[in-house]
Structure 1
Amino acid sequence: MARGGGEHGQGSRRVRAQEVEECASAALGTRIDCPTSLSAIRGGKFVLRVEDTDLERSTKKSEEAVLSDLSWLGLDWDEGPDIGGDFGPYRQSERNALYKEHAQKLMESGAVYRCFCSNEELEKMKETANRMKIPPVYMGKWATASDAEVQQELEKGTPYTYRFRVPKDGSLKINDLIRGEVSWNLNTLGDFVIMRSNGQPVYNFCVTVDDATMRISHVIRAEEHLPNTLRQALIYKALGFAMPLFAHVSLILAPDKSKLSKRHGATSVGQYKEMGYLPQAMVNYLALLGWGDGTENEFFTIDDLVEKFTINRVNKSGAVFDATKLKWMNGQHLRSLPSDLLIKDFEDRWRSTGILLESESDFAKEAAELLKEGIDLITDADAALCKLLSYPLHDTLSSDEAKSVVEDKLSEVASGLISAYDSGELGQALAEGHDGWKKWVKSFGKTHKRKGKSLFMPLRVLLTGKLHGPAMDSTVILVHKASTSGAVAPQSGFVSLDERFKILKEVDWESLQKQQESPVESAVPAAS
């Protein structure tokens, strides 16, 4: 919700926070109806209210989880249950006295009445409506019951609800900021309950009283709440309150165009956090679900969204949640982090998962720089580094893709490479870094009369054990550093240069050639 500070339509600027909230709370039992801190752009206030009228599902733990998720996303509120404000309390469970006060006002004005119908009677009304193929509206007698009839039930102690008296004819319309004019025929609604027999107020009554007494100017929420707006509008009118401006955004849809649900993957913001997503990427992606700034740009910081967001560019149609696109966008935000922060995140991750024995090493810094282009989630950094440190020569040489490389006299290149390593020539070049490597490769290629792909593909296969990967010079230099620095843990699957050349020396090239012609058992010993 937003309390506006300007003209109507200008008090709240927001991204798809309703969907953020729904992801955060769908499985948690606490619903929080809130726009975002973007409401501040026109001098408004971002108000966070915990709507915990569902006593069974609403727990302190679920509330804390949702507030934590929203804080992680950077959706900072100006008023709420944790920080207070001038219009508290900010939990509906703490506002019962206020609801009862306004329910009594409606009773005194005749806008509501006591309904003593039992559950069995109400069920029969539904069955009758189904048979008659009409809307299941209330058909009981208590809307027109005499004072004597009511008093008789009160004296017997019969449980009752407070039921709102809906006009039988006419229509009601609102001007939705996204959907334009929306209208309903009142004869399809029927009298509805605002207070249960246990004295607990229902959702539609609570939010109406809350929005009015908290001076909410803008309510921006999912389109599935449109039917609730009819009931709320009637209550506003009966209590003499001015209605806030409503904007009903489209639901987020699954790839099959159904409503996004648990079966489609993660159901809370906290789960996305655990999966390695960045909060700024989540907000960026959710903002683009049904909104755009009119350009081809898809990369926005929160400050960008504050500046550019306008409610009139929100689409009416539902947007499909694309997990692949979200992951790609996370990668864009990850790589846009300041270099020192990105490196630290990678180092901390590798240290915490036991891949590195020490952090802040030159090895870790160079590994982060080398691998970042292929990593979209920080949690993917583990697999990326382990893959870099591995040496699957066995599988590579036995593959169909490597056949042309093997047939291009790979054994001769291997022989020359082994000689260069045994003599210390290659090790010295790698110790000198990129300049040393460049000089050595040029000399090695000249000696073996190879250049370009015919030189670099065999070297990549023999030194890394792979046909593809990050820049070969950086990869091999990094493997050399890992071999000499002691930064890498044994359980990382790291194969040192010494171990690689030991494996390389044991390759039976003649058998390998035959295997390529007629596949049999591998001629390449596996890394131990």
Structure 2
Amino acid sequence: MTLRKTRFAPSPTGLIHIGNVRTALLSKLYGERFLLRIEDTDQERSREEFVEALMEDLRWLGLAWDEGPHSARAQPDYHQSQRGAIYDEFYLRLAEEGLAYPCFCSATELEVARKVQLAAGQPPRYSGKCGRLSKDEIAARREQGLEPTLRFRVAKDAIVEFDDLVRGPQHFASNDIGDFIIRRADGSAAFFFCNAIDDSLMGVTHVLRGDDHLSNTPRQIMILRALGLAVPHYGHTALILGDDGSPLSKRNGSRSIRELREEGYMPLAVSNMLARLGHHYDSEELLDIQALSSGFRVEHLGKSPARFDPVHLNHWQELAVRAADDEALWNWLLNDTRQRVPELRQSAFLDIVRSNCRFPLEAHQWATALFSDALERGAEVHDIATVAGEAFFQAAYDAAAAHPDNYEAFLEQLKQQSGAKGKGLFQPLRSALTGRLDGPELPKIYAIMEPHRLRMRLAEFARGAQ
């Protein structure tokens, strides 16, 4: 039985963004074997550093590929820029069989024809006039130094049909497509030609991609059938919209995976959010890649555009931080944060991070509040200290000195000496120890702070309340 083989085929012209990675993730989850191919035929914009970056991002997300390049340097099997000889063989076959022909029409001619067709209410398509040139006419144009494109000759009055994995039965009239370019005048392969050829030659059985490629699919099917090559099953997923309902862009929330990493997002947060973007899972728990794959169903992919919601991403980020083990969480912290945390208090600090932080910067703020001598105090905290009064903080200092390692005994003595209770007890105490009115439970704060620093904070507030 043939394994279901999927692929991700990015163009290395920049850092990969949420939309690109969603395609990679869905393909990884759906496939039993996952292929990575680098489509770097755009030599002006493709960069080796972008290849390295996208592979690093995929590895960070846990999207390991079963087949594909293992370095950023071009490898003939998996970099399209190295496969020109293969495409040339198929161009020759098509031309010899009369299924492709040279086209000498200039860009200006094509644009004028397009505008005329649109003005007449017709779908813009090539007239096919160069397909009627004789051998002598073709030779004459070549002698003039004209470099032609190569067009695929589309059969007239035909219907191209396929069953889309996401959208169901699809039908395209060949007369609405017209003869299309498969090789540019500079000799480079058109995207949908080399893309289709490589999918078939590499044994890709199922292709998941955005619905902006839907119009390419009948062209690719015609090419593969004309060459007698296997045609994959195609599925076209709805595109992602931004938080304002328009196509996702940097303006409305799109970010590169590199940017998400730098902001402190965890890979499981990103993968869980993207896997559920336009796809239904029965489980609402944080799932690893294997579990996401087990629960993935192509029939659960929606046909309507999915909207990227930063709140949704932050929800999964919170779950990912809570689920991280100590080693992963420690490495996730900023270097400056790790330097602030005393070795004996690392485990207790990580426990506080899991319960109170979503990003490394938040963890750094707590490390500063808990392990630094200086403490930032806002106006609200100052007012609370004033209301509580010097006697309250002096009593807290005495209780802390008497019970440095026992929060319950400390709290009981403070209650008896100060007479404070409820909000009047806990709010000034939290303010004095952390400079904040929210955060970890007080027993955890009391246990993690070094006794001398804790007493110093209480003494400072006693003086400040005078």
Distance 1:395 1:480, change over 3 A: farther
2:97 counterpart of 1:109: yes
2:33 counterpart of 1:75: no
Determine the C-alpha separation between the residues in 1 that align with 2:119 and 2:235. Answer: 36
Determine the C-alpha separation between the residues in 1 that align with 2:450 and 2:177. Answer: 75
State the match for 1:230 in structure 2: 218
SS of 2:45's equivalent? coil
2:284 counterpart of 1:297: yes
State the match for 1:443 in structure 2: 413
Per-residue CA deviation, residues 266-291 of structure 1 (Å, 9 max, x unaligned), is 53211111111111221111111111
State the match for 1:368 in structure 2: 350
Per-residue CA deviation, residues 469-523 of structure 1 (Å, 9 max, x unaligned), is 321232234333472xxxxxxxxxxxx6425523432434xxxxxxxxxxxxxxx
Determine the C-alpha separation between the residues in 2 that align with 1:482 and 1:100. Answer: 77
SS of 1:143's equivalent? helix
Determine the C-alpha separation between the residues in 1 that align with 2:257 and 2:25. Answer: 15
Q: 5+ residue gaps in structure 1?
A: 484-495, 509-528
Query: How many pairs are equivalent?
Result: 461
- Within a 5 Å distance, the mapping from 1:96-245 to structure 2 comes to 96-139=84-127, 141-245=129-233
Determine the C-alpha separation between the residues in 2 that align with 1:465 and 1:27. Answer: 38
State the match for 2:379 in structure 1: 395
Quote the RMSD (CA, aligned, Å).
Answer: 3.2
Determine the C-alpha separation between the residues in 2 that align with 1:359 and 1:392. Answer: 18
Question: 1:37 deviation in Å?
Answer: 4.0
Determine the C-alpha separation between the residues in 2 that align with 1:57 and 1:47. Answer: 23
Question: 1:68 deviation in Å?
Answer: 1.1
Name the amino acid aligned to 1:502: E
Per-residue CA deviation, residues 377-399 of structure 1 (Å, 9 max, x unaligned), is 23431123334566455612555
Name the amino acid aligned to 2:367: L
SS of 2:132's equivalent? coil
Distance 1:469 1:76, change over 3 A: closer
- Within a 5 Å distance, the mapping from 1:389-468 to structure 2 comes to 391-393=375-377, 395-397=379-381, 402=384, 410-411=388-389, 414-419=390-395, 421=397, 425-430=399-404, 432=405, 436-468=406-438
Question: 1:38 deviation in Å?
Answer: 3.7
Question: 1:238 deviation in Å?
Answer: 1.3
Question: 1:466 deviation in Å?
Answer: 3.5
Determine the C-alpha separation between the residues in 2 that align with 1:177 and 1:326. Answer: 27
Asked whether the equivalents of residues 15 and 256 of structure 2 are also in contact (C-alpha less than 8 Å), the reply is: yes
Question: 1:313 deviation in Å?
Answer: 1.6
2:322 counterpart of 1:325: no
State the match for 2:459 in structure 1: 501
In the superposition, the TM-score normalised over structure 2's length comes to: 0.88
- Within a 5 Å distance, the mapping from 1:329-344 to structure 2 comes to 329-338=316-325, 340-342=326-328, 344=330
Question: 1:48 deviation in Å?
Answer: 1.0
Name the amino acid aligned to 1:459: L
Distance 1:35 1:266, change over 3 A: closer
State the match for 2:364 in structure 1: 382
Determine the C-alpha separation between the residues in 2 that align with 1:229 and 1:202. Answer: 14
Residue from 331, 338, 347 that aligns with 1:345? 331
Structure number with bigger Rg? 1
SS of 1:142's equivalent? helix
Question: 1:130 deviation in Å?
Answer: 2.9
Asked whether the equivalents of residues 36 and 75 of structure 1 are also in contact (C-alpha less than 8 Å), the reply is: no
State the match for 1:277 in structure 2: 265
2:247 counterpart of 1:259: yes
Name the amino acid aligned to 2:208: I
Q: 5+ residue gaps in structure 2?
A: none
Distance 1:207 1:459, change over 3 A: closer
State the match for 2:236 in structure 1: 248
Percent of residue pairs bearing the same amino acid type: 31
State the match for 2:302 in structure 1: 315
Question: 1:261 deviation in Å?
Answer: 1.3
Asked whether the equivalents of residues 249 and 316 of structure 1 are also in contact (C-alpha less than 8 Å), the reply is: yes
State the match for 1:516 in structure 2: none
Asked whether the equivalents of residues 242 and 254 of structure 2 are also in contact (C-alpha less than 8 Å), the reply is: no
Name the amino acid aligned to 2:307: V
Determine the C-alpha separation between the residues in 1 that align with 2:400 and 2:195. Answer: 73
Distance 1:188 1:474, change over 3 A: same
Distance 1:322 1:90, change over 3 A: same
Distance 1:89 1:443, change over 3 A: same
Name the amino acid aligned to 1:321: F
In the superposition, the TM-score normalised over structure 1's length comes to: 0.79
Determine the C-alpha separation between the residues in 2 that align with 1:361 and 1:199. Answer: 62
State the match for 2:446 in structure 1: 476
SS of 1:174's equivalent? strand
Determine the C-alpha separation between the residues in 1 that align with 2:31 and 2:107. Answer: 47
Asked whether the equivalents of residues 158 and 174 of structure 2 are also in contact (C-alpha less than 8 Å), the reply is: yes
Asked whether the equivalents of residues 6 and 206 of structure 2 are also in contact (C-alpha less than 8 Å), the reply is: no
Name the amino acid aligned to 1:309: F
Per-residue CA deviation, residues 185-225 of structure 1 (Å, 9 max, x unaligned), is 22221211111111111101111211121122111111111
Distance 1:303 1:222, change over 3 A: same
Question: 1:90 deviation in Å?
Answer: 0.8
Determine the C-alpha separation between the residues in 2 that align with 1:372 and 1:39. Answer: 32
Distance 1:481 1:221, change over 3 A: farther
State the match for 1:25 in structure 2: 16
